[in-house]
Chains A and B, each alone.
Chain A
């Protein structure tokens, strides 16, 4: 989940397609979709339908982080980041 959060947080306002996310995260669809479903259920990710770029193709789902999702992504990044000298002394 951290990885998906991090990828979505990189371009916070942008909507991403499922297949693009899969490739960016290096995850299989069997791992990514349950994650996205869970994250959407928990209000971390929002999803909506978009008309396809190519005619004759079905509408596609796109995803982006919600404010809560972005806050969690920042929190997790901060936790996993190496501690600064000041933080180590504190």
Chain B
């Protein structure tokens, strides 16, 4: 059990080390074998994990990686959960007061009978667009962690296109598009953040490899 835990910590330490510290990660792995033979596997492995995390915080590359993880876990996945949940549960969060489409259709209002059939026909399309933007966010979070910048910018633009389409459809149907507009604005900010991230990544890479 101790050896299993120690190996797990060593694997975590290796994956936490940036590409520029790959040699050090291999060096620690090699010394781990000696430490394990000396009965010090767990304490050595925990120390290596601490060292890897210290390095992660100390280097610009490490801080950049942590920022990517924070953006993916703290912004994109919650946004994806909100959007997918919204699509699956009948768009409840998309309208003021969280009353869903019935609230937006002004149920009980004088013009409800005139608009009901049109709105009910539009629901699947709106839900599908909302679902696509949610799935787009999941993929975007993954690409961000993978640092696949061309893919991330492509998916971010598609997600933005989906969110914009939702706003346009809702406006055409005279629905209150305030919440959808807010979501589209967040996606727009994400596109801008990814564009800044690409520039920042290029700067860090240029500092690490000045010869190009």
Would you give the shortest CB distance from B30 to chain A, in whole angstroms?
4
Measured CB to CB, the nearest residue on chain B to A29 is B47
Which of B31, B34, B55 has the most C-beta atoms of chain A within 10 angstroms of its own C-beta?
B31
CB of A58 within 8 Å of the partner chain: yes
A55 to chain B, nearest CB (A): 13
- Interface residues of A, dominant DSSP: helix
Q: In the complex where A33-B24, A34-B54 touch, is A60 in contact with B30 (Cβ < 8 A)? A: yes
Give A32 to B50 CA distance when docked, in angstroms. 11
Fill in one digit per residue for B17-42: 1 if any A CB lies within 8 Å of its CB, else 0.
Answer: 00001011011111101110010000
Interface size of B by CB at 8 A reads: 24
Q: In the complex, what distance in Å separates the CA atom of A52 from the CA atom of B35?
A: 14
- Interchain Cβ contacts within 8 Å, total number: 68
Residues of B within 8 A of A (CB): 21, 23-24, 26-31, 33-35, 38, 43-44, 46-51, 54-55, 58
* Chain A contacts for B48, CB-based, 8 A: 29-30, 33
- The closest CB in chain B to the CB of A61 belongs to B27
For A33, list chain B residues within 8 Å (CB). Answer: 24, 28, 47-48, 51
Q: Which residues of A contact B (CB under 8 A)?
A: 17-19, 22, 28-34, 36-37, 47, 52, 57-61
